[in-house]
Amino acid sequence: MSDRVDLLIHGGDVLTMDESGTVVTEGSVAVRDGSIVAVGTDLPHEAAATIDATGCLVLPGLINTHTHLAMTLFRGAADDVDLQEFLARVIPAEAEQLTPGNVAAAVRLAIAESVRAGVTSALDMYWFHEAAEQAARDAGWRLHAGPTFMDVPGPPDSRAYADRLGWARLSLESRTAAPGTRPVVFAHSAYTLAPEQLVDIFALAREFGALIHIHASENAGEVAMVSGQYGKRPVELLDAHGLLGPDVLLAHAVDLTPDEIAALAHSGTSVAHCPVSNLKLGCGIAPVPALLDAGVTVGLGTDGAVSSNTLDMVGAIRQAALIHKAGGDPTAVNAEQAVRMATVEGARALGLGDALGSLEVGKRADLIVLDTGRPHLTPRHDPYAMLAYAAQASDVRDTVVDGRVLMRDRTLLTLDEATVRAELEALA
């Protein structure tokens, strides 16, 4: 091919994350109209713009499958507490401080942090999703967001629960399908929503073919609370009401029984693993090796910047590869599995495996360039091990979303970082 492309990334070792684990040494990725049109060596394309990745690693952008981006506003406000105390502190603060403008400012900071860490898209459960989506569009960043349901007194948007289904329907009806996206509906949890509410929310989401994202079994306290109220554990409750399935992504899934793991596998339900948040809140360690053995798709997430304090997916990869070895098996989650959770498996968890998560022809051009010419990354033996055990977020040099360069040579191009930081400092 000699036809012109919009962007050519060349010279780096391309970690495609395809099914075969193909690594193209000194390879190139060609991009046109936001889509990957070629991956290989010595691609004879003429390009409007280029990125010289010589001596670097080129890989798919990292996908954060569970977060609350605007919680950057509250970073450091609920440290060294368990989940229940965390919620007791954060929910009132949200009711008092969240507005569309504050959410937009907090999301802009979160996007800046994420782009610097090589994160090209995130599944964001939070209030005022419209403001978050506009901030993401302005920055050229891929955000998966939508209506959120959480039946709590005095919600930040002041919308009565009785009005939320109608509001969510209008939101879903007004959406325009875009490559690399799908509709999403967020049901907070089985402890903030009654079973009949969950049934209605899931029915609405399924009417629009939406992904459904819900917290489930984050810690033993949550399981006890739901069991005491409804006589069933969270995953049992969802299963009993027909609310598991390939369109459902559970956040956390720490406290699971073998029968619940089997139910997730049988139904095709996916899990977003958030190891840093789970450790910091003392929730425990999700049974990821058992989930993987059962065939459950597991993505990786940071959770919000209150419970994890950073949106660093490179750090999440490391934790995912390390903590499961604590049981004595160093192969429990290996380096490649952890990297796949942050890329192609994350895309599959979102139901977007045909569009995101690997560098293959026809997929969207979400990719990053990692500078490997640093002491802590020398020498280079295995790219997966390097990413999982040695790399840092600051090693990300360039970030591309939908073929648009958002960060080049560690300089943000679509956000004024100083303004973004000052804006949130003023709010905080």
Report in angstroms the alpha-carbon separations of 17 from 60, 77, 92, 141, 343.
7, 37, 42, 21, 8
The topology (CATH level 3) of 62-349 is TIM Barrel (3.20.20)
Sign of the dihedral defined by the CA atoms of residues 360, 315, 320, 81, in that order: negative
The model carries a pTM of 0.97
Percent with pLDDT over 70 in the chain = 100
Do the beta carbons of residue 141 and residue 316 sit within 8 Å? no
Average pLDDT, the chain: 96
Give the C-alpha separation, 338 to 352, whole Å.
Answer: 18
Give the C-alpha separation, 46 to 341, whole Å.
Answer: 34
Do the beta carbons of residue 258 and residue 235 sit within 8 Å? no
Cα 311 off chain centre by: 9
pLDDT given for residue 44 in this prediction: 76
pLDDT, block means (10 residues), the chain with 428 residues: 85 97 97 97 89 98 98 94 93 93 98 98 98 98 98 93 96 93 98 98 98 98 98 98 98 98 98 98 97 98 96 98 97 98 98 98 98 95 97 98 98 98 94
pLDDT given for residue 344 in this prediction: 98
Strand-pair partners of 272 = 251, 299
Q: What is the pLDDT of residues 156-214, one digit of tens each?
A: 999 999 999 999 999 999 998 899 999 999 999 999 999 999 999 999 999 999 999 99
Whether domain 4-60+357-410 has CATH 2.30.40.10 = yes
pLDDT given for residue 42 in this prediction: 83
Domain locations in the chain as residue ranges: 4-60+357-410, 62-349
**Eight-state DSSP code of residue 355:** T
